[in-house]
Amino acid sequence: MLRTGVAAGGIAAAMQFVPSGTHPALGATANALIWPTPKIVTRKQWGADESQRVAPPSYDSKVQKLVVHHTATSNSRSDYNAQIRNIFNYHVSRLYSDIAYNLLIDEQGTIYEGRWATDYAADMAPTGEDALQRQVRGAHALNHNSRTIGIALVGTFDTVAPPVPMVDALVEVLAWKCSRWDLDPTGSSDYADALGTRVHLPNILSHRDIRQTRCPGNATRALLPSVRARVKQIVDARLLQARSEVRDDLQGPQPRHRQTRG
């Protein structure tokens, strides 16, 4: 089971499924609690033909922006593994080295591994990071692929809103990546694009914020303010929980009033 939470798993259980790493403010134990990796359908499971992947990928040691897309494909497919394979095949046929997106989400809220980062061991979650904990770079947003993660909703959401399970999964993925990369879900910051232009952008943004495109659809764009707010709630709650569990862990069964701030 990859879906671990603070309430369900506790520190020891959560740590088994989460890549090691350190948050600037917290230790590895707390990190396990604040970025539990969601359940993800691996490339092997959706049937990626790895022989079609061409150049080795690039990686970033820092992530600054999470870019929301839709795939502009038809909605309500019966076989989403086949749909993901179609998108992969289309991208490599257009001379991309691999599928363009880092992660994809279907209408039932199933999350799929996108661009290949490394060959993960069977018991490891496909986090999109290599053994050096660097994020693999996608090809989802022209001149804005460095230090960004592209998350694609599978379908077209101009007039039709993304279904509730899909939005819930998007929130879950964004909370994971905001925690992992220390991004404020409702914040914004300067970003230097590949042409060297500095632009001030939200940390969670629509593809249309950086390029003239319909992506991720008007209906998705309309949801982003509430999505950001939900992500912030989750991230803040996990951080608080992690801090208190780490204090308890370090200090043992002492009376609460004797605990110091950590």
Question: Whose Cβ is closer to Zn ion: residue 65's or residue 207's?
Answer: 207
Contacts of 133 by beta carbon, 8 Å cutoff, 6+ apart: 19, 20, 21, 61
What single letter denotes the amino acid at residue 206? Answer: S
How far is the C-alpha of 224 from the C-alpha of 220, rounded, in Å?
7
Q: Least Å distance between CB 215 and Zn ion? A: 3
Does position 207 interact with Zn ion (CB under 5 A)? The reply is: yes
Question: Whose Cβ is closer to Zn ion: residue 207's or residue 230's?
Answer: 207
Residue 204: enclosing H or E segment and its boundaries?
Answer: strand 204-206
Q: Report the number of secondary-structure helices (H) and strands (E) in the chain.
A: 6, 9
Residue 224 structure tokens: 């982003």
Question: Whose Cβ is closer to Zn ion: residue 69's or residue 134's?
Answer: 69
225 upstream amide cis, omega within 30 of 0: no
Question: Whose Cβ is closer to Zn ion: residue 11's or residue 160's?
Answer: 160
Which x/- pattern, by CB under 5 A, does the window 45-74 give for Zn ion? ------------------------x-----
Interface pick for Zn ion out of 6, 171, 215, 231 (rule CB under 5 A): 215
Total interface residues for Zn ion by CB under 5 A: 3
Question: Whose Cβ is closer to Zn ion: residue 171's or residue 215's?
Answer: 215
Length of the chain in terms of residues written: 262
Does position 144 interact with Zn ion (CB under 5 A)? The reply is: no
Q: Least Å distance between CB 160 and Zn ion? A: 17
Residue 77 structure tokens: 């497919």
* Site residues (vs Zn ion, CB under 5 A): 69, 207, 215
